[in-house]
Structure 1
Amino acid sequence: MKINTMYHGEVEVDEILTFEKGIPGFVEEKQFVLLPLSDDETFFVLQSVATPGLAFILSSPFHFFRTYDFQLEEVAVEELGLQSEKDVAVYSILTVQDPFEKTTANLQAPIIINLKNRKAKQVILHDEQYKTKHPIFEKAEAKG
């Protein structure tokens, strides 16, 4: 299927992610694709299939926050049909800033993807240590 995208123009896609309840704030948007944004697979675009102007920049939180850890609630495990940790991909939505070094990651509400059935969900964590705007280059700023 061909779709129009915000950052890649028209692209051919075949692996569609289904957010059965949409994404908070975009509940009507149920189908997305994950496209690479950087050659090193650090940054991705979560692109709406239906709305070319709706795309989120994502990254693995573990790339920037090595100790990031949480437990999924059983209801989320069931909704996603997860059977093994090996089937899970975790991403954080980034708020890209200018300059880029001020970009933040939403660690409070990760995107969880079941790699087997392509179901996805943005999960809201109830862990007070995680916020919606964690600087991804915090260590670099502390040195400078």
Structure 2
Amino acid sequence: MKIETKYQGIVEVAEDRFITFEKGLPAFEEETSFVLLPFEENTPFYVLQSTKSANVAFIVVNPFDYVAQYEVKLTDSTIEQLEIVKQEDVAIFVMLTIREPFAETTANLQGPVVINAAKQKGKQILMNETNYQTKHAIFAAAKGAK
């Protein structure tokens, strides 16, 4: 199926790659179908792109590559809703807020996106009882750690 995207124009995507977000994303509840696309070759970034609205797209990254000891605890209801059977089927991403310069870009560590890759189901969860922030400077921290 061809879909119009925010960053890559029109792309062909197999429908079995569509990820269903049963209740959409916060503030985008009507957007229930997304696809995960590479942002650019040789970068760790992906685009969580709505399959219905070209302008609804989020730059995401695997937080475990940037934040030591990042932990996401899934509730039983989330595990049940996403039909998670094996931990290996779970992919976790965090949404970025791009800033200039790029080193000041922040990540929402408090609201990770959880995807069951085996079932193509996703959900953004809110982790209230953590010290994680919605605007965590993960690239500045990673740069200082190297």
**Aligning the two structures, in what range does the TM-score lie when normalised by the shorter sequence?**
over 0.9
TM score, norm. by length of structure 1: 0.94
- 1:11 aligned partner: 11
Between the two proteins, the alignment pairs up a number of residues equal to 143
Equivalent of residue 116 in structure 2, options 108, 111, 114 = 114
TM score, norm. by length of structure 2: 0.93
Find the aligned partners of 1:139 and 1:97 in 2 and give their Cα distance: 15
- 2:139 aligned partner: 137
CA positional deviation for 1:39: 2.0
Q: Is the 8 Å Cα contact of residues 62 and 93 (structure 2) preserved in structure 1? A: yes
Tell me the alpha carbon deviations over residues 34-92 of structure 1, each in whole angstroms, 9 at most, x when there is no partner: 00013235100000110011100000001111210121011100000000110100000
- 1:42 aligned partner: 44
Percent of aligned positions that are identical: 44
Find the aligned partners of 2:65 and 2:56 in 1 and give their Cα distance: 24
Task: Report the 3-state secondary structure (helix = DSSP H, G, I; strand = E; otherwise coil) of the residue aligned with 2:70.
Answer: coil
Amino acid at match of 1:55: A
Task: Report the 3-state secondary structure (helix = DSSP H, G, I; strand = E; otherwise coil) of the residue aligned with 1:134.
Answer: coil
Amino acid at match of 1:126: N
Counting only pairs closer than 5 Å after superposition, residues 64-83 of structure 1 correspond to structure 2 as 64-83=66-85
Amino acid at match of 1:43: F
Task: Report the 3-state secondary structure (helix = DSSP H, G, I; strand = E; otherwise coil) of the residue aligned with 2:103.
Answer: helix
CA positional deviation for 1:98: 1.1
Q: Which shifted more, 50-59 or 61-70?
A: 61-70
Find the aligned partners of 1:4 and 1:124 in 2 and give their Cα distance: 29
CA positional deviation for 1:97: 0.5
Equivalent of residue 127 in structure 1, options 113, 122, 129 = 129
Q: CA RMSD in A?
A: 1.4
- 2:97 aligned partner: 95
Amino acid at match of 1:10: I
